Amino acid sequence: MDELIAKGAEMIASAQKILVFTGAGLSTESGIPDFRSPGGIWEKYDPSDFYFQKFISDEHARTTYWKMSREFYSLIKPASPNRAHLAVKTLEDHGKLLAVVTQNIDNLHQKAGNSPEKIIELHGTLISVSCLSCKKKYDRDEIEARFDSGIKVPYCDDCGGILKPDTVSFGQAMPQEAMEQSIRYAGQCDLCMVLGSSLVVYPAASVPMHAVQSGARLMIVNREPTPQDGEADLVVHMSVSEALTGMLRLLFA
Ligand code: NAD
């Protein structure tokens, strides 16, 4: 393992423009479960209950959705960034970070102190809510207060439209600008670091491949194998916080 950490450190040292691509595995050590590991969200809930089409067409589906979303938000709100998030911040402090493209919806890159303009949230965020009709935005905690007062499903104050957290559900369009910007960054980086992602959720998982096709080196740090391991210059199957801490210790200690 030491050799892999040393190679990772060398790859970071020789890179000038790193694109960090993160998934749920980055945040498990902050107490937020991922979706696919044992004990993850999909062992508890049925993904088919969370399709966008169902959400907009059925009040019962909205009730189930909000129940799951509230449970998830109760973990996310108090969560703190862990050593892996802080390592990504260190890359920015040393002028090496081009951008962070995250699939996470937990706001932890922002809490770790990365510049907001360097963070692309491909799947949105759980900390705000919008009306699907008039697009009015709400702070999540304002909506949580409504639940606490007894309602089961919230609707827009202005137009009565359906409210939904600003996350991308199955079957819902990706934020186009975020996706396009991610692909642009993938074309500009010299190293793409995939951290804590199973790389099975598309189109997000196409970003590292764009980087490789544009000539960047690829490092994947994930506990389990991913479908893109064969394309990577370095694959490290271990805790992402341990791996990154080890690499940065060699570089910046
Ligand atoms: P995923 O659940 O598909 O994969 C996570 C991967 O991380 C797994 O392969 C797992 O082995 C690995 N992993 C878990 N803990 C790790 C650790 N400490 N160190 C190294 N590897 C670790 O997650 P994904 O690839 O992000 O895609 C699923 C979707 O889940 C995304 O769309 C994302 O929006 C959503 N999601 C987000 C959060 C969050 O915001 N924290 C949490 C759960 C799911």
| pLDDT of the residue at 188 | 98
Instruction: List the domain boundaries for the chain.
Output: 1-31+81-123+174-253, 33-78+126-167
Entry pTM: 0.95
Amino acid at 168: V
Is the CB of 87 inside a 6 Å radius of any atom of ligand 1?
A: no
How far does residue 161's CA lie from ligand 1's centre (Å)? 32
Q: Hey, which residues does 192 pair with through a beta bridge?
A: 19, 218
> What is the C-alpha to C-alpha distance for residues 46 and 200, in angstroms, rounded to an integer?
17
**Regarding the domain delimited by 33-78+126-167, which CATH topology (the fold level of the hierarchy) does it fall under?**
SIR2/SIRT2 'Small Domain' (3.30.1600)
Tokens of 208: 């590292």
| pLDDT of the residue at 41 | 72
How far does residue 138's CA lie from ligand 1's centre (Å)? 26
> What is the C-alpha to C-alpha distance for residues 114 and 204, in angstroms, rounded to an integer?
21
Tokens of 12: 């970071």
How far does residue 7's CA lie from ligand 1's centre (Å)? 24
pLDDT tens digits, residue range 61-95?
999 999 999 999 999 999 999 999 999 999 999 99
CATH superfamily of 1-31+81-123+174-253: TPP-binding domain (3.40.50.1220)
Testing ligand 1's pocket by substitution, the residue of 32, 34, 77 carrying the most ligand atoms inside 8 A of its CB is 34
- Nearest alpha carbon to residue 141 among 78, 60, 232: 78
pLDDT tens digits, residue range 135-162?
999 999 999 999 999 999 999 999 999 9
Is the CB of 104 inside a 6 Å radius of any atom of ligand 1?
A: yes
